[in-house]
Amino acid sequence: MTSRERYINTVEGKPIDRFVRTDLGPWPSTLERWISEGLPTNEDFMAHFEMDPMMILPINSGYTESPYLPTFEPEVLEETEEHVVRVDPDGITKKVLKFKDDTSMPQFLKFPVASRQDWERIRDRLDPADTAQRIGNPEFLTKQCSDPNIPTILTICGVYGHPRNLFGAEGLSYVLFDDPDLLHEILDNWCELYMELIIQLTAIIRIDGIMIWEDMCYKNGPLINPAHFRTFMLPRYTSFIEAAKACGVTGIAVDSDGDVREMIPIFLEGGVNVMLPFEVQAGLDVVEINKQFGDSFVIMGGLDKRALAKDKKSIKAEVDRVVPHFIERGRYVPCLDHSVPTNVSLDNFKYYLQCLRSYEHR
Q: What is the tens place of the pLDDT at every residue in 228-244? A: 999 999 999 999 999 99
Asked if residue 99 and residue 118 are part of one domain, the reply reads no
Asked if residue 296 and residue 252 are part of one domain, the reply reads yes
Asked if residue 193 and residue 84 are part of one domain, the reply reads no
* Contact criterion met (CB below 8 Å) for 327 and 362: yes
pLDDT band at 101 (very low <50, low <70, confident <90, very high): low
pTM of the predicted model, to two decimals? 0.96
Kindly write down the DSSP assignment for every residue of 121-177, as one continuous string: HHGGGG-GGGHHHHH--HHHHHHHT--TTS-EEEEEE-TTHHHHHHHHHHHHHHHHH
For residue 90, give its domain range: 73-111
The pLDDT value recorded for residue 124 is 97
Name the domain boundary from 85, 111, 137: 111
Q: Is residue 362 a part of any domain in this protein?
A: no
**What value does the mean pLDDT of the chain take?**
96
Q: Is residue 211 a part of any domain in this protein?
A: yes
Asked if residue 80 and residue 63 are part of one domain, the reply reads no
| Mean pLDDT computed over 221-227 | 97
The pLDDT value recorded for residue 329 is 87
| Mean pLDDT computed over 300-312 | 98
Asked if residue 205 and residue 90 are part of one domain, the reply reads no
| Mean pLDDT computed over 318-333 | 95
Q: Is residue 129 a part of any domain in this protein?
A: yes
Number of structural domains (the chain) is 2
**Helix segments in the chain, DSSP class H:** 3-12, 28-36, 45-48, 116-122, 131-135, 138-144, 161-178, 180-202, 226-228, 234-246, 264-270, 286-293, 312-326, 346-357
Asked if residue 265 and residue 191 are part of one domain, the reply reads yes
Asked if residue 146 and residue 91 are part of one domain, the reply reads no
Kindly write down the DSSP assignment for every residue of 73-93, as one continuous string: PPEEEEE-SSEEEEE-TTS-E
Q: Is residue 46 a part of any domain in this protein?
A: yes
pLDDT band at 5 (very low <50, low <70, confident <90, very high): very high
Name the domain boundary from 88, 111, 134: 111
Q: Is residue 192 a part of any domain in this protein?
A: yes
User: Residue 120 sits in a domain of what CATH number?
Assistant: 3.20.20.210
For the stretch 126-169, pLDDT in tens is 999 999 999 999 999 999 999 999 999 999 999 999 999 999 99
Asked if residue 188 and residue 221 are part of one domain, the reply reads yes
Asked if residue 261 and residue 141 are part of one domain, the reply reads yes
**Is residue 112 reached through a cis peptide bond, with omega within 30 degrees of 0 on the bond before it?**
no
Residue 112 DSSP one-character state: S
The pLDDT value recorded for residue 362 is 66
